[in-house]
Amino acid sequence: MTIGFSETAAHARKVLPFIGLVLCAALAAPPAGAQEVVFTDQANREVRLPKPADRVVSIVIPVASNLIALDGGTKKLVGMNPTAKSAVTQGILGKIFPEAKDIPSDVTSPSFVPNVEALAAVNPELVVQWGDIGEEKVAPLTNAGLTTMLILYGTEELTQGYMTMAGKAIGQNERLKALIDWRDQVRKDLAAKTASIPEDEKPRALYLQRAITDMAASGTKGNYTEWSMELAGARNAAAELVGTVSINKEQVAAWNPDVIFLNAFEAELDPSWVYKDPILSLTNAAKNHKVYKLPLGGYRWDPPSQESPLSWMWMANLLHPEVFHYDLRAEMKKAYNTLYHYDLADADIDGVLWTAQQGDAANYDQFKVRQE
C-alpha cells in the first residue's frame, strides 16, 4: 500500500510528531525481503506488511477468535470489538485465556465505527475491518497510516479466504493450513454422505436467528447457519425467505418444521421457550423434541468460526443419527487441543453443548459422557 503525500501530511498533523516520525521512517524504507507479507484482501486491495504482524486489531467480530485460534494464543490480538470481547470473556475462551479480559475493546464501537486515537494507542501493525461497511469507516484508518485488511462475510469460501489472510498476516502458515485442511476434510465428508440422502428424507429445519425480542428466521441467501444446516443434511423450512427477516408464529405453524435450531446469541433463550409457547409447542419439531440451541464454544456455533466443523458435525449427528456417527466429544477434545492448546474437561463440553438445558432432547444422548 502506498501512502500519498496528502495522506502523509494529514497524518503528520494528527499524530504526535514522535510517533509520526517513527511511522514515516518505517513507511519510507520498508525492509524488502523474505519476511515481507503481501496479499490481496476481499475488497481487492493489496495489503503489504514489511514482516508478519505481531500486533493486530480486529474491528470485525469473527476475526478476533479466529486470530486466537490461528496463533494458539491471545498475544497478537491487541484490540477487538466489544461484542467479540464479551463473547470471548463470557464463553470458554475466557476460561482458557483469562488474560483476554485485558485486551482493549475501546478501539471500535460495536457497530464498527473505529476510534482512531484508541487504535493508535495500541500501535497495531494490522487492522481488520469489513469490506462492505462504507468508505467512512475505513478512510479514518488508512488516513491515519494504519495498514488495513478488509474482509467480507457470509459464506465458507469467504471465511476460508479471510482466515487465510489473517494466518498469513501473522506468519502462522502451518497452523493455518491445518485449520483449513480440517474444514475442507469435514466438509467433503459431510457433503459426500448427505448427497446420498434422498431429498424427502432430509428433515425441514428452521433456524431462528432471533427469538425473544422479535422472531427472525433465516432464508436462503447470505446466512452461514442456513448453509451449515443444508451441508449437514437438512432442508430449510424457511426457504421462501430471502435473508434473515422477522416472521410471526403463525408462519412457523404454517411451515411446521421438523427441527428448530435456536441461536446462541440470546443468552436467555433455550428450548423451553419453544415448549412453553402455545403455537410453537405444536410443531413437529417440538412434538418430537427436536429443538436445539446452537452451542457456544470458542465462539458461537451459528456464525462461521474456527470451530465451524464441530458445529457441522453436531448438526449432522442430530439430523441424521443413522448416517453420521461423529464422536463429537472426542472431536472437540482434539480440536481444542489444536486450536487453543487446551485439554477440554467433560464438564467444559457439557457447558458448550448446553447439556443441562437440552440433554433430554431427541438424539442428544449420543453427546453425553459414555458410562463404560
Residue numbers at the binding site for another protein (CB under 8 A): 61, 82-83, 86, 109-113, 210, 212-216, 238, 240-241, 245-251, 253-254, 265-268, 278-279, 282, 303
Between 129 and 172, CB nearer to another protein: 129
Find the shortest distance in angstroms from Cβ 243 to another protein: 9
Look at the block and give the residue holding cell 494529514. 10
Whole-number Cα distances in Å, 252 to 223, 239, 279, 286: 18, 12, 8, 12
Between 184 and 240, CB nearer to another protein: 240
Between 196 and 213, CB nearer to another protein: 213
Query: For the chain, where are the alpha helices, taking DSSP H only?
Result: 5-14, 17-28, 62-71, 82-90, 92-96, 116-121, 139-143, 156-169, 173-195, 224-231, 249-255, 272-276, 284-287, 308-319, 328-340, 346-352, 355-358
Find the shortest distance in angstroms from Cβ 241 to another protein: 6
Q: Are 49 and 147 in contact (CB under 8 A)?
A: yes
Look at the block and give the residue holding cell 443441562. 356
| Residue 34 CB neighbours (<10 A) | 5
Whole-number Cα distances in Å, 7 to 3, 139, 188, 227, 246: 6, 10, 47, 42, 43
Nearest partner of 315 among 158, 186, 179, judged by Cα: 186
| Residue 6 CB neighbours (<10 A) | 9
Find the shortest distance in angstroms from Cβ 280 to another protein: 10
CA-CA distance, 331 to 316, in Å (whole number)? 14
Question: Which set of grid coordinates corresponds to residue 226?
Answer: 442456513
Nearest partner of 41 among 144, 140, 224, 169, judged by Cα: 169
Find the shortest distance in angstroms from Cβ 215 to another protein: 7
The 8-class DSSP code of residue 73 comes to S
Between 245 and 345, CB nearer to another protein: 245
Find the shortest distance in angstroms from Cβ 283 to another protein: 9
Between 86 and 357, CB nearer to another protein: 86
Find the shortest distance in angstroms from Cβ 300 to another protein: 9
Between 35 and 246, CB nearer to another protein: 246
Whole-number CA gyration radius for the chain: 22
Between 173 and 246, CB nearer to another protein: 246
Find the shortest distance in angstroms from Cβ 244 to another protein: 8
40, β-bridge pairs: 46
Find the shortest distance in angstroms from Cβ 128 to another protein: 15
Between 236 and 317, CB nearer to another protein: 236
